[in-house]
Amino acid sequence: MGVVTKRSSMTYFSDAQDHYSHRVRIVLAEKGVTFDLVDIDPNELTEEVSELTPYQSLPVLLDRDLVLYESKVMMEYLDERFPHPPLLPVYPVTRAQSRLWMHRIEKDWSPLVDAIVANKSPESVASASKELKESLMTVAPIFAEKPYFMSDEFTLVDCCLGPVLWRLKHFGIDLPMTRQTKPLHEYMERLFAREAFQESLTEQEREMQA
């Protein structure tokens, strides 16, 4: 094994186009954390990153001697290490519900985004795009109930969902403006307008909305 360079501050190794990397950048921005951002091509990992993670993947968060290489673990670590503003509910029941929503996003929508990005065939991209669009349109009415995803406050669930929604235009997925989808469109506008969300965007991600 090589020698990993010692860093004095928190360092976030990120894929500038990846939605998993993006969700952690949102948390960092919401918390106002000072950190070094290192954008890396996932197909050309540096020796340092390869030494840090057993899975040869991004993102990776390095905080002194602590190395984290799973995005949801990073998000919860940052929420606990920097408690203000809190991004998970205080009470155990609602906190567990938030974690379940994050799990649902991970199981239901994230794989569809991954399939689109992988671009293995036109058929697989079309199928994943269609399923993602139909699924979002089906749940759109629930966004009328609360300003954020099933919550009055911005939470880690929104940090997971925001990067998926930001990429819809880039994927060529057009959600029609109907009575049913209007709450989702309004949620997206509210989410994307947040100062921390805008701060979290890389140059490549900004181009996704161009």
Identify whether residues 47 and 98 lie together within a single domain. no
CATH assignment at residue 64: 3.40.30.10
- Cis bond before residue 85 (omega within 30° of 0): yes
CB 27 within 8 A of CB 79: yes
pLDDT tens per residue across span 104-125: 999 999 999 999 999 999 999 9
Cβ neighbours of residue 47 closer than 8 Å, sequence gap 6 or more: 2
Domain end call among 58, 81, 104 = 81
pLDDT of residue 119: 96
pLDDT band with cut points at 50, 70 and 90 for residue 173 = very high
Identify whether residues 187 and 139 lie together within a single domain. yes
Strands 36-39, 60-63: parallel, antiparallel or unpaired by DSSP?
unpaired
pLDDT tens per residue across span 49-105: 999 999 999 999 999 999 999 999 999 999 999 999 999 999 999 999 999 999 999
Residue 35 has a CB neighbour count (10 Å cut-off) of: 16
Domain end call among 81, 110, 136 = 81
Average pLDDT of the chain to the nearest whole number: 95
pLDDT of residue 8: 53
Residue 194 has pLDDT above 50, yes or no: yes
Residue ranges making up the domain that contains 20? 11-81
pLDDT tens per residue across span 144-160: 999 999 999 999 999 99
Identify whether residues 154 and 61 lie together within a single domain. no
Q: Position 105: which residue type? A: I
Which residues lie across from 11 on neighbouring strands? 36, 62
**Residue percentage of the chain with pLDDT more than 90:** 95
Q: Name the burial class of residue 20, with classes exposed (0-12), middle (13-18) and buried (19+) by CB atoms within 10 angstroms of its CB.
A: buried
For residues 134-142, give the mean pLDDT: 97
CB 191 within 8 A of CB 163: no
How many distinct structural domains can be found in the chain? Answer: 2
Q: Which of 162, 155, 164 is nearest to 197 (CA)?
A: 162
Residue 139 has a CB neighbour count (10 Å cut-off) of: 14
pLDDT of residue 9: 84
Q: Position 11: which residue type? A: T
pLDDT of residue 178: 97
Specify the DSSP element, H or E, that contains 36: strand 36-39
